[in-house]
Every structure is written in structure tokens, then in C-alpha cells.
Structure 1
């Protein structure tokens, strides 16, 4: 009998574990102990680095719980993490994960995750985002979790250079080596991971047409209320009613091409006098936009920076076109959101964007790093409202047809069942609908 097939034994909590605080000297284990006292079920633990990443799994955890799994989610402490997890019916667990490299803190996090796994004894662990992939992957392998899944949502190494690139490549390879399945959120990302020898092709899978969690089109559809809110936002930001607006939604960092976007905007300002640039997001210190460019952006009176926004839906109705000159993606959800909102998108031809945009149908793809081509594509759409409407409508239809969240949830749950059955673990209590045809084929391909 292999280590992965060893039967799970119930482990008692450590003495005094009821008094637990979030500090460098104690293991955060209240949630794990709480699950330990419950009757045994098929326990699934999802681990991400940042608490805000739980939003990437909205609806997914609830679907798994309703299918019969016992679900927990672990992440670094953050605003509303506990509430979001419990809204999904998942048990929240705090672990000290950080996005950037921090060797000592990472070692502490590894020990804590390992300790939590030894107490929880999940049958499945799904780790995503680079740091969680490395730490949770190692901890899961060391603790003998039977079924290990790595959700690959992007490759930071694509835009890194020198020693940092080599280190990121090593950590991604190690995370993938710890997993039985590597779920890639897009086909182009899968191909990139295989070509960089990060993951073996036979272990990789893409569910349906890709994306991290699909998109609920109804949350972004241009309803009367959202259009009314968009008009109010225009007035609040002092934007003239007929002024064309280029929009961006996401983190304001160098990898997202903020510098190129600002350059394209400056090029177009001479052609469109009232042109506005709407940046829905906030600047971050990790991978920062060059200081000189950031200062020019912040001084420009025709550039609006919203800061962090909980509900981006109304902002899509403010803009005329979405721009995403990103250097790399896994599968950009903002493109699906913009399409659901009826907006055309211009993006760089990068990993992930090529899966989200059908060039010339629901948006325009331009060569990566070419700010002049980016400006020309944006100019084409700003000048042709009819083309924008056609592309927006095409995008809406594709989102509603191919990117329903249920496709991803169904494929993931069926993958879990197949993996458990491979290990000889009974799934008698799991209630699942038959997988959608497209992802059923993909899952079967990955299992060969």
C-alpha cells in the first residue's frame, strides 16, 4: 500500500489548542479542530495566498458543499475573508501567506499548513496562486493528502528576469511536481507551462473553454439600474456626457501594461480632445509602475483613478471600450466581465488574452509591447460606435454560451470524484450531475 493510499486516522488536537491567536509562535488551528470533531466526510481544502483570491472561487465552494463535500478554505488574513468563506458554507482557516518572497515567514507558513493538514486530514487539497502552490503543495505531499490539485492561474516567471525568473520557475515546477493534477485556467497557459517544463502534459487539464471560475453574466449585464449608476458616476467624476472613455480594470502594476496604456492615451488625446482614461483599481508596491509614469498619471486631469472598488459592474457602463495591455495572464476575468457588460476589448496578444478574445469578433489583439498599435486599435473602436456595439454583442453571446460558472464547477467536482475513485476512496455521499460534454472530454484526456 502506497503512502497516498494509507487510511486516514483521526488525530486529537494539540493540548491547549483552544486558545489560539494569530502570532508567529502559535499554529492557527481552531477551524481545523472544529472540523476534526465533526463526523468524517470527504474533506476538501482550498488554499490561496491572498484572502481576496477567495473571490476567484465565488459559488464554487458552495457548489462543492452542496454536492456533499466538507469544504474549507485557507488564506492570509484579510478584509471580509471569514464572511466570504462562511457565505459559501466553507470553513475559513487563516495562514500567514505572503505574495512576495519572505524565506523565514514562508518556512513558518509551511509548518502551519502542515500542522493544519495533519489535524484536518482532507482527502483533497486544491492549492492555487504561486506562494500557496509552493507551500501548500509541499505540506500536502509531506502530510500524505491522497489527492492533490494545483490550479495554475498564471505564471509570474513569464515577465521576470535573471535570478528571480529562475527562482520562480523552480518554485512552479516544485508546486506542479507535488500535484496529481494541474488545472490550467486557459489552453495557452497550459501550453506555456508545458513548453517551460513546469508541468508534464499528461498531468495538465483545462476545463471547458477555460477561465478560473467562469462569469455570472447577470452580474454585469447593462440593466437600467447599472446604466443609471454609470451616469451618476460620470457626473461625480466630472466627465462630460459625450466624452469617449478608455477603461481599465485591475491592479495598477507594471505587468498590466499601465505605462503602455498611458502612452497610447497620450497619443490619442490629440485626436479626441475630450478623451478620458478611467483606471478602476489602485497602485501596488509589488511590481510597481515606474515612479515618473505614475506621477504623470496622477497629475493628468483627464485620468480618473478610482482606487479599490468592490462592485466594478457600473464602471463597465461608464467606459466605451476596455483596454488590457497586459504582459501575461492566466485567463483574464475582466475581459469576460467586460464582454458580459456588452463592451469590446483591446488587449495585447499574451498568454491568457488569446483565449478570452476572438480577434476581430469580440475585440482586437495587438502585438505585445506595441503602444502605437494599441493606440490605433483603440482609435478604431472609439471612432466606430457601430463596431463597438457589434463586438460587445458578440462578446455577450460568447460569455453566456461558453463561460457559465456551472461548467467549471461541474468539471472540478467530477475531477475530484475521479481522483478519489482512483485512490479507492468511496464517493457514495457525493451527488453530482453528469459533467458537461466539453469538460468531460478534457478531464478524461488528463486522466489518460
Structure 2
């Protein structure tokens, strides 16, 4: 499904409650009352559709990228939260409870307790979810946060629908009532699919750790082999959610870019840096440990850029993983296009797969430019960061206009390099990037 069609579908779903309310033809109320209701209808619709923007549906993230999907999830959730938290304060107050004092055509609000209490609880839960989100990195393990966030969001959404259908002037209409409960059912099925059905399907395709090899300072290569099946169909640039030594149905999953190439066979290779929890224990994994793979995901692929004049890859640290996948597949395909890899690290000891990269640059159409922000004495490569000056020293005007640029690395680096490329005249549609941190 094209990205434009996804956007239209999203707008149709989130605007549908307003349209269905308008079609009922009820007499208008005071402006503030209508505004409060409209804000609530829109906020609830956005909240329910958010369950499809969880990042685990390839039909969405595969079209616009995981980073865009998750960033939209964050921004739209915040917008829905503001609308829902604000709407009780927009009603025109006591006059709405006294029909004799309201303007012609006005209708008193429904303050029946059976419709009011779900809204109060949902409103308080929403505030709790927002507070928990602010402290999720320092107070909770990621897996704990995922479980709490999903459960609380679903309860909050269900109570919100219950409040709307019991207390709402427009949502009591059978059509809009049915619309709300269908959306809620889809939200429930979304969570069931992600956290129950897919893991059970995944359990039928186990993997085994074949090796764990140290590549560089605090950086490891993890290799997984399929057990009893033919492996995974994927493209260079895809990533996978993997869990090791855990049950198939588990919240202990982590996303990692695939570093192997499809042409290499069924073995999957990952380049992983020690950053805490699971990654700090990589060196302790033993061959034969069972693993589970949910993949492929992502949009950092070259399939829509086959006519690009060349490929420029810009990686920071462990962002080299998808670049290795691309380089390995391009060489396996005997792709004649020129390619350049800008590989940025802090120190020389962090350079991963250096011998392989040197060998590929000597035997093929690849140039490798190492960039160190803290170089050792006698370093002859680039220093500092990947700046416009660094880029223009190694790329000519034709490359800047006709090549495709693939970016992966820490978010500050990605944003700086993207701005640099746009400033140098690189068309936005020729820049591919994806990140795993969305703050």
C-alpha cells in the first residue's frame, strides 16, 4: 500500500467521527460545547488508530520507515493526549446543566454516573501514561515499559469508548456507536497479533546461536542459523527483532540491523554494540542457544533506487551493520556502480570489520573513508565529523545529484548529515535513513 494511500486512510479514520456526527443533523449547541465534543471525538479516534502505529506492522513501517512510524506514533499520541485532557474544560459549564438558561437548540450534558466514571478513569489513566513515558528510560526496563504501556493504553482506550458511547451526544447514534467499537476491536486485535499470534507463529521457526565473535571495542558479531526451516527472506537494509534464550512469547526483544546479505545463504549476521542489559552479555552466549527472529522490518533498502548512479553510505558506529549487508549483496550481484562508505567512529579501536572493508575496497568499486573524532597520533584519515567539507572532498557534483545516500547511526549524527546533504543539493528522495531512538 503506497504511503499516500496510508495517509488518506489515516485521515479518513480520524475524521470519520466528526463527519458521522455532522450527518446526524442535531440542533447546534453553544460553540464551546460543540468544540469540546469535536476535540474529544478527534482525540479518541487518534488514540484508537495509534495501535496500528506501534511499529510492528510491515504494511506501515515498510512504506515510511520505522523511525518515521515511531516518530508519528509519538507526535500523534501527544496530540491526542492534549485534545482528550483539554476537552472537559471546554464545555460551557453550569448552563449546560440547566436547559432553561441555554441558548435555543442547546442540549444539557449527560452527567449520568454510568457514563461519567469511565471518562474520569480514562482521563486519569492518560495522565499516568504520560508521566510514565517521561521517565521510561531511567525508571523501567524496556520490556517492563512495553507491557505497562500496552496494557494501560488498551484499558484507557476501552474506557474512553465506553464513556463516549454512554455520555456522548453524538456517539449514542448507532452508526457512530458501532464505529467506536469496531475501532476498539481493531486495537485489541492489533495487540493480540503483535504479542500473541505472531510469537506463536514465530515459535514454529526457531533459530540457534552459531557463533559470537568480537569485532571491535565493545562490538560483537552474532550469527544465527535456522533450525528446521530454510531461513528468512529479506533485503539488505532490513532489521529484525530478536530474542535469545527466552520463550517465543516474550517481551524480551531487541531490534538489530541485519549485517549479512541474502546471497550468503540462510545464516543471519548482526553487528551489535554493548549498550546495556542483553547486549552487555553477548560475549557470554554459547553456541546452540535457542533464538527467535521476527523480521524483516524497515525501509533502508535500495530496491526503489536501482537507477541511481552510485551509492554513498554514511555510517556511525554500529550503524555499519546495514551498510555491510548492502556492500556484501552489491558485490555478490556484481553491481558495477561506484560506491563510497563514510565510516565515523570516536576511536580507531571501534572500527568494525576493517579487514573486510579494506579487502572490498581493493577488489571492487568501493572507497572507504574513515572519520575519527578522537584520532591517534599519526592518523592520516579524516578527523572530526562527517561535515559538508568532508563530503565534498570525496564526492563530485554528479554524485551529489544522482547517487542514493544511505545513512545509519546515532540520531544527532543522522540529523547533521541529512542537513549537510540537503544543503549540498542532494534531493530529499535520494536520502535514506532510519534510526532506533525517537526522542
TM-score bin (small chain): under 0.3
| Bigger radius of gyration among the two | 2
Q: Which has the higher helix share?
A: 2
Structure 2 length-normalised TM: 0.27
